[in-house]
Amino acid sequence: MAREKIFVTREHIIPEAIAYLAEHHDVEVWKERSAPPRDLLIKKASECAGMLTEITDVIDKELLDQTSTLRVVANRAVGMDNIDILEATSHGVMVANTPGVLHESCADFTFGLMLSLARNITYGDRQIRAGAWKVFDQIPYLGTDVYEATLGIIGMGLIGTAVARRAKAFNMKIVYYSRTRKPELEESLGLEWRPEMDSIFREADYVSLHMPLTADTEYVVGPRELGLMKPTSFLINTTRGRTVDPKALYEAVSGGGIAGAALDVTDPEPIGIDDPLLTLPNVLISPHIASASSATVRKMGQMAAANILAALEGQTMPSCVNPEAANQR
């Protein structure tokens, strides 16, 4: 098979996957930790047969209109909101993601956020480092139990299901809303389905978001939804920042409408150092690292590389979201 050109938009994240691709094709890599400039991304797309991208690399009509060589884009992520799938399909570009390898890591992290927020673990650490812990006094750090609380999950895909399994060990009552009802999970895990999302916000002590970012879910959590939550409840978001209205979240937390929030994703991202959410002691923010265990990152890179190789060899890809694109060439 002839060697093709492939562009990888980060060097430091998946070196093993890059080395694997380089055994078969000519690979060029953007060496900075930041995303490649837009004009360079477009240029490389017009020169290459394949691209391995991160979620901050936008693959849209403007880019796709300027390339006739591009045949596959492998996104090192499950979410695909950075790629215009319809445009890619019409241009004959196959698009792949990396499902089935990160849900356990994300579920671990979701519970880590929940426990840290509920029990003031991060807040206590901040206070110690600020020199504010002067005497043994637990009252300023009183938290909320997770055990036997009600967990509301919005989006019962692989990650939501993995979170539910962990919640069973905490004897939590689990209610969920999903586009597709999951009777088998209701039976095996004791889940309770709700036919509309409002019920989740009203009932849950912890609301955990696990739906993809789409036109329907952009800012789906706004003032009205947050207003349905109990003042003792918490919001956990590990999906995408633009699923939650940040101004509404600030108002809800600062005004006592909800007890706090834990966010692995923000809007914008990275969050600005002057963002008002950072002034709230009961908001915990991490830098979009829910899937960032060393093993999971390695597996994601391997799957992305395998998708590219399969596409260029005309074989079935491990995870192609638009196989019909092959018919457009």
- The string of pLDDT tens digits covering residues 9-51 is 999 999 999 999 999 999 999 999 999 999 999 999 999 999 9
Name the active-site residue from 148, 240, 251, 313. Answer: 240
Residues 278 and 192 in one domain: yes
- Supply φ then ψ for residue 250, to 5 degrees: -60, -45
150-154 vs 173-177, strand pairing mode = parallel
5-8 vs 50-53, strand pairing mode = parallel
Residues 201 and 271 in one domain: yes
Own/partner contacts of 242-250, CB < 8 Å, gap of 24 or more, are: 242/213, 242/218, 242/267, 243/209, 243/211, 243/213, 243/217, 243/218, 243/219, 244/209, 244/219, 245/219, 245/221, 246/275, 246/277, 248/221, 248/222, 248/223, 249/221, 249/277, 250/276, 250/277, 250/280
What total of structural domains would you count in the chain?
2
- Which of 104, 105, 100, 98 has its CA nearest to residue 76? 98
pLDDT band per the 50, 70, 90 thresholds, residue 277: very high
Task: Provide the angle, in degrees to the nearest 10, between the axes of the packed helices 103-118 and 158-169.
Answer: 50
269 belongs to the catalytic site: yes
Q: What is the pLDDT of residues 279-317, one digit of tens each?
A: 999 999 999 999 999 999 999 999 999 999 999 999 999
The rounded distance, in Å, linking the Cα atoms of 185 and 203 is: 20
194 belongs to the catalytic site: no
Name the active-site residue from 181, 251, 269, 298. Answer: 269
Strands (E), the chain: 5-8, 26-29, 50-53, 72-75, 94-96, 150-154, 173-177, 192-193, 206-209, 234-237, 260-263, 283-285
Residues 12 and 152 in one domain: no
Residues 148 and 80 in one domain: no
Residues 62 and 209 in one domain: no
Q: Read off the pTM.
A: 0.94
Residues 47 and 85 in one domain: yes
Domain carrying residue 128: 104-285
Residues 220 and 120 in one domain: yes
| Cβ pair 321, 95 in contact under 8 A | yes
Residues 229 and 153 in one domain: yes
288 belongs to the catalytic site: yes
CATH code: domain of residue 256 = 3.40.50.720
Residues 203 and 66 in one domain: no
Q: What is the pLDDT of residues 170-179, one digit of tens each?
A: 999 999 999 9
The rounded distance, in Å, linking the Cα atoms of 124 and 146 is: 18
Name the active-site residue from 288, 298, 313, 329. Answer: 288
